[in-house]
Amino acid sequence: MCHTHSALAAILADGSVVTWGSRCNGGDSASVRDQLKNVRQIHATHNAFAAVLADGSVVTWGNPRLGGGADSTMVRDQLKNVQQICATRSAFAAILADGSVVTWGDPFTGGDSTRVRVQLRNVQQVHATDSPLLHC
């Protein structure tokens, strides 16, 4: 089971997903329910969920500005062969099979990795912090 700040998601034995809690923060997955088949992992920010499917693709839902739904559409074509996802408070990072990393969500909490994209090669693991948003 996985949770956002105010919603939960569970993967059932058949690979489908059930969500409940705050509709705005991922508790309502009705808009992606047909895509949530053969789910092998779910990860969460405080406001959105990202599910990795058996084929390595990713489905997102929740707050569209903080990692869910519309926020991931800009990188959806890159989210293939995903091996692992890591989440901060408001952003996601996905490691692909080739060792590259795709990020999305709030740019101030890790959703924009363009500055270090060249260095993100042969990545084995990604880890995140979860602290209050501080701009420096």
Q: Is pLDDT at 136 greater than 60 in this prediction?
A: no
Residue of higher predicted confidence among 133 and 65: 65
pLDDT at 1 exceeding the cut of 80? no
Mean pLDDT of all residues in 73-90? 92
- Return the domain boundaries, the chain: 2-119
User: What is the arrangement of strands in the sheet containing 48-53, beginning at the earlier edge strand?
Assistant: 39-44, 48-53, 58-62
Residues 1, 10: contact at Cβ < 8 Å?
A: yes
Residue 132 confidence (pLDDT): 57
Domain at 2-119, CATH class: mainly beta
**pTM, 2 dp:** 0.90
Q: Give me the pLDDT at residue 2, please.
A: 77
d(CA 120, CA 18) in angstroms, rounded, equals 34
